[in-house]
């Protein structure tokens, strides 16, 4: 461990686990909504669409997972990449999709996200309308206000090289 972070060595890169968070601490989606409200985290309509979708699920058992934060640049995309390419490259390095519960849990458990930043949750995109799929994005505005948001998660949705993603650290 380095400064309390986990270090993961994958074929040609070293990734540092950004945070260990707990999943399965809520049994119903409305409990998450209430906790976010109490924690003063705003929920966008798009994020509510993911939370309301039948494909959104909560872990049945409590477990701790380690999350790796990487940018498209870290994954070798100097000009950015579409969401599908980002996920394929992360998978190729041994990283895994996050359960969709990670988005709201990140908001609740990671209190010191730097102001003016956002992170895209590397997850299976959830259909929020007939022609649109989305993934969670956790934003912290310049005043420190947190938002559980969502963004396009379609295979061809393009993200800059600097955009940061959360993926699961592989279990040994």
CA 52, CA 31: separation in Å to the nearest integer? 13
Residue 10 confidence (pLDDT) above 70: no
Give the tens place of pLDDT for each residue, 40-93. 999 999 999 999 998 899 999 999 999 999 999 999 999 999 999 999 999 988
Tokens of 136: 């969670």
pLDDT tens per residue, range 119-134: 999 999 998 876 788 9
* Single pTM value for the model: 0.88
Instruction: Work out the angle at residue 78's Cα, subtended by the Cα atoms of residues 75 and 79, and round it to the nearest 5 degrees.
Output: 120
Structure tokens at 124: 């299976």
Helix, strand, or coil here: 54? coil
Handedness of CA 31, 35, 41, 42 (dihedral sign): positive
Percent of the chain with pLDDT over 70: 88
Q: Which candidate, 114, 116, 64, 70, places its Cα nearest to that of 93?
A: 70
pLDDT at 12: 52
What H or E segment, with its residue span, contains residue 48?
A: helix 45-52
Residues shown for the chain: 172
Which residue's structure tokens are 């969401």? 83
Task: List the domain boundaries for the chain.
Answer: 6-168
């Amino acid at each position: 461990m380095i400064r309390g972070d986990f270090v993961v060595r994958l074929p040609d890169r070293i990734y540092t686990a950004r945070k260990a968070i707990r999943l399965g601490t809520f049994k119903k989606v409305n409990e998450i909504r209430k906790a976010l409200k109490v924690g003063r985290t705003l929920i966008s309509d798009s994020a509510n669409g993911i939370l309301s979708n039948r494909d959104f699920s909560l872990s049945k058992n409590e477990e701790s997972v380690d999350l790796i934060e990487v940018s498209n640049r870290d994954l070798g995309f100097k000009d950015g990449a579409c969401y599908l390419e980002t996920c394929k490259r992360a998978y190729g390095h041994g990283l895994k999709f996050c359960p969709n519960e990670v988005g709201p849990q990140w908001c609740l458990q990671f209190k010191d996200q730097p102001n003016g930043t956002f992170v895209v949750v590397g997850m299976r995109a959830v259909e929020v309308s007939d022609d649109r799929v989305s993934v969670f994005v956790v934003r912290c505005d310049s005043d420190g206000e947190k938002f559980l948001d969502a963004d396009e998660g379609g295979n061809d949705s393009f993200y800059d090289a600097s955009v940061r993603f959360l993926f699961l650290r592989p279990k040994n």
